[in-house]
Structure 1
């Protein structure tokens, strides 16, 4: 993963705005971690990181804490990764799709129709496989703290109902900047258009794109349902989010404090999941009440279209072995 000029600029600006490029104990002995997220302040991922900061403060009598910059205040998810790697901020929450190209092992979390359900992906990330997939970041300046829920992901568009792959043909669909998502959308018959999450609403309005794919809470909180009213329950991806920390920021702490940060991050996962389950149900009810038309789909037909995509990525022996282990998780 290389630094872009935009990321370098944001690193400089954020370094000035945050007064330091990494947490250092202040004169009063406090260390405050700066955390970024593209989602709004009331989103489950942001709220879970706030809980994490409150818990760190409680356990250390205020010596450790978290200051948040939600709603994309410091750029998009690619920016967030670069800022965290190079210590302009300390913690970021990003979709796994944003990590797939730089960290190939994470592709097993994003490939289409690999997981059977939310329970399946939770069991994977909570177990030995999840631990392995948190450890892949440390060679490039990051530490994996936890995986948060962000699924299932489904398609929605401004044109017409979609219940089978043939109805995707010709639609310009936003894709995260991940080769897996680009390949998958293309295999389903649509024309993938890579865009940042923040650009989707205006692109739907102006018909630069016809649709996108995401989860119920993101579809609702971004107000994309106001322009793209046809939802298709494809559940093609159960890709989670990753909570990452600057390796340098973590290693500045004592060994005991490092263990504490990791432990509190792990314990923020059930907090996030409870918030997520409630938010997902509420978001779904909200957008349906506002006029969203939901179509059930032929999932077997959609899964068949992306089988060549799976075969392409699983040709790599390491990913195939991981895939077999994931399939075996109860």
Structure 2
């Protein structure tokens, strides 16, 4: 009971602090509006660099009338907590995984299906077309309007002991996953033991062998320093789940049409730059892994694809999901 009260007090304190920041940002200079943009990644991450480019573009387009103040590195909470802050209007914007958005807007679930996209070209062809636009706009019903998708690469397994050459190699292994049911189902279907855990707790959990491994993209594997502990990276690329730049509709609705155009245009233009940052970072990170004696293995993906098919088949039973999946497969 006391633990619950403490957590509640901490949350109330966080919200109160954010509200104060928001009020200060609006009142300190009536000639411009400041958008509080919170996210969980470190400042060295290519997604943060994409957000910096959006900040710069928006400042130029608006002549300084619309500005972004960034709070990186989970300063204002987890991805779920930040989305909740957007919904109540305490924070204007955030960047989260599409997997986190799926807990609020069901259409995003489709983007977490294993082996849904053939490659990154296929993925961005879909995301930057009508399908992607509908998914982004669909979140507005839940007070979370998507502005654009950022490249988050492909997620693969990394482990403490040995490669995951086939799904059989996952048997008996506890693998950390995001707190997302589809990620849990995927690891379990492959034969592993899915272990949802906060990202910030993972380094210690790997050190203490609470889990045997995890799954993520190369930049996150490196910036988290998990490569210092896990020396086996299997490039199975089971999911290409993009990141999403989201604005709370409570803030969005306070903007006039010109301001909305500036913000959307800044988001759109930052996408191309973020893709370059991502590509460059992956190349640099692969060199880091090589120097750190991390072993890389490229498996035959067909056994992984076969084992995870039930996830897509389950979603195909939902008419709304089936329509989106069919559009993606036909692209």
Tell me if both proteins adopt one fold, taking TM over 0.5 as the criterion: yes
1:79-98 matched pairs, under 5 angstroms: 79-98=81-100
Corresponding residue of 1:113: 115
Question: Are the counterparts in 1 of residues 105 and 142 from structure 2 also a CA contact under 8 Å?
Answer: no
Residue 19 of structure 1: how far off its partner (Å): 4.5
Corresponding residue of 2:49: 47
Corresponding residue of 2:162: 160
Question: Are the counterparts in 2 of residues 76 and 197 from structure 1 also a CA contact under 8 Å?
Answer: no
Corresponding residue of 1:262: 264
Structure 1 residues 311-320 or 122-131, which shifts more?
311-320
CA–CA separation in structure 2 for the residues paired with 1:204 and 1:113: 27
Corresponding residue of 2:19: 15
Question: Are the counterparts in 1 of residues 104 and 139 from structure 2 also a CA contact under 8 Å?
Answer: no
CA–CA separation in structure 2 for the residues paired with 1:119 and 1:198: 31
User: How many residues are matched?
Assistant: 324
Corresponding residue of 2:290: 288
Q: CA RMSD in A?
A: 1.6
CA–CA separation in structure 2 for the residues paired with 1:299 and 1:8: 46
Cα–Cα, structure 1 residues 7 and 84, in superposed 2: closer, same or farther, change >3 Å?
Answer: farther
Moved segments of 4+, more than 3 Å: 4-9, 23-28
CA–CA separation in structure 2 for the residues paired with 1:95 and 1:54: 23
174, 195, 198: which is aligned to 1:196?
198
CA–CA separation in structure 2 for the residues paired with 1:320 and 1:19: 41
42, 64, 67: which is aligned to 2:66?
64
Matched, 1:33 2:35: yes
Q: Deviations over 1:80-105 (max 9, x none)?
A: 11112212211100011112232211
For structure 1, which runs of at least 5 residues remain unmatched after alignment? none
**What SS does the corresponding residue of 1:20 show, helix, strand or coil?**
helix
Cα–Cα, structure 1 residues 223 and 313, in superposed 2: closer, same or farther, change >3 Å?
Answer: same
Q: Deviations over 1:160-192 (max 9, x none)?
A: 121111001011001111111000010001100
1:167-316 matched pairs, under 5 angstroms: 167-316=169-318
For structure 2, which runs of at least 5 residues remain unmatched after alignment? 1-6
**What SS does the corresponding residue of 2:265 show, helix, strand or coil?**
helix
CA–CA separation in structure 1 for the residues paired with 2:204 and 2:74: 16
Question: Are the counterparts in 1 of residues 156 and 236 from structure 2 also a CA contact under 8 Å?
Answer: yes
CA–CA separation in structure 2 for the residues paired with 1:317 and 1:9: 42
Q: Deviations over 1:248-300 (max 9, x none)?
A: 11111111111111111111110110111111111122112211111111200
CA–CA separation in structure 1 for the residues paired with 2:69 and 2:45: 16
Q: Deviations over 1:225-252 (max 9, x none)?
A: 1111111111100110010011111111
**What SS does the corresponding residue of 2:182 show, helix, strand or coil?**
helix
Residue 60 of structure 1: how far off its partner (Å): 2.3
Residue 14 of structure 1: how far off its partner (Å): 2.1
141, 144, 150: which is aligned to 2:143?
141
Corresponding residue of 2:124: 122
Question: Are the counterparts in 1 of residues 22 and 90 from structure 2 also a CA contact under 8 Å?
Answer: no
Question: Are the counterparts in 2 of residues 20 and 88 from structure 1 also a CA contact under 8 Å?
Answer: no
